[in-house]
């Protein structure tokens, strides 16, 4: 069974690294609703040692645990209350009234990790980034982060994946697994940001960042832009020993660059 697991893991990584940056979530069309979302996962998680655990709860005021929320420019947000739960809402291209009086249209929630805790890929460059969001509407949001520079790119504003919402009205958790996190404040002074893709605001309740010591072992396909509402193969990605891995390029392109 282990060999099957590793084989599928390798196939998965080839699929991931085969994606091109041109297939950005911003250009993803919104297809007609033809099927219900699934909860399929590709690979079970292995036991991991997680040396880093940071979070920010977007209460009013926010609760900080090594992650801060930026404001100003295009990253202003407003607190909202959904059934008694406070969260923060993005602008979806409209200028939110800001503390500094700027009138720049807002489209992002931008976050900064404490440099003392994690900076320039140290102590860990592999992280799992979890986002608790309100699954309202069927528009999308995407992650951009400060990735480790490579020969062809400085890594700033790297695409970390996208989520297409399903309109359930529930608070859901999106999980982004990054294996080349640099986090040197190069996302306009922050380390990562959530773009609402200018196609509908996002309401975010909490963000968590965990260090991951071992290789990437869990992938939630729909967390990376696989549209759970279309009829194209994406959530058919299977558990090891299952029918195999099936990604719809363009709808489920990951931007993980594991070595």
Q: Which of 115/213 has CB closer to Ca ion?
A: 115
Sign of the alpha-carbon torsion through 12, 14, 17, 20: negative
Q: Is 154 one of the binding residues for Ca ion (CB under 5 A)? A: no
Residue 159, token pair as written in the block = 């695409």
Closest distance to Ca ion from the beta carbon of 171 (Å): 16
Q: Which of 19, 113, 171, 203 binds Ca ion (CB under 5 A)?
A: 113
Q: Is 104 one of the binding residues for Ca ion (CB under 5 A)? A: yes
Q: Which of 70, 135, 136, 139 binds Ca ion (CB under 5 A)?
A: 139
Q: Which of 44, 50, 60, 115 binds Ca ion (CB under 5 A)?
A: 115
Q: Is 185 one of the binding residues for Ca ion (CB under 5 A)? A: yes
Closest distance to Ca ion from the beta carbon of 160 (Å): 15
Closest distance to Ca ion from the beta carbon of 180 (Å): 16
Residues lying near Ca ion in the complex (CB under 5 A) are found at 76, 98, 102, 104, 106, 112-113, 115, 139, 141, 185, 191, 196-197, 199-200
């Amino acid at each position: 069974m282990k060999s099957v697991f590793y084989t599928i893991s390798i196939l998965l990584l080839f699929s991931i690294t085969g994606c091109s940056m041109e297939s950005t979530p911003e250009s993803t069309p919104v297809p007609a609703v033809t099927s219900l979302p699934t909860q399929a996962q590709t690979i079970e998680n292995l036991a991991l040692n997680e040396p880093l655990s940071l979070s920010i709860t977007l209460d009013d005021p926010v609760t900080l645990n090594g992650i801060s929320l930026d404001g100003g420019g295009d990253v202003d947000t407003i607190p909202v209350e959904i059934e008694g739960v406070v969260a923060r809402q993005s602008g979806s291209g409209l200028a939110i009234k800001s503390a500094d009086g700027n009138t720049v249209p807002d489209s992002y929630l931008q976050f900064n990790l404490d440099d003392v805790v994690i900076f320039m890929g140290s102590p860990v460059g592999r992280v799992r980034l979890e986002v608790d969001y309100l699954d309202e509407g069927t528009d999308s949001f995407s992650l951009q982060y400060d990735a480790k520079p490579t020969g062809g790119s400085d890594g700033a504003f790297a695409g970390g994946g996208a989520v297409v919402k399903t309109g359930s009205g529930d608070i859901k958790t999106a999980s982004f697994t990054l294996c080349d996190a640099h986090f040197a404040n190069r996302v306009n002074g922050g380390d990562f940001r959530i773009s609402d893709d200018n196609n509908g605001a996002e309401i975010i309740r909490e963000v968590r960042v965990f260090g991951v010591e071992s290789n990437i072992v869990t992938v939630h396909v729909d967390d990376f832009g696989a549209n759970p509402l279309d009829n194209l193969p994406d959530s058919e990605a299977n558990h090891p020993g299952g029918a195999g891995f099936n990604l719809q390029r363009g709808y489920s392109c990951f931007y993980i660059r594991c070595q």
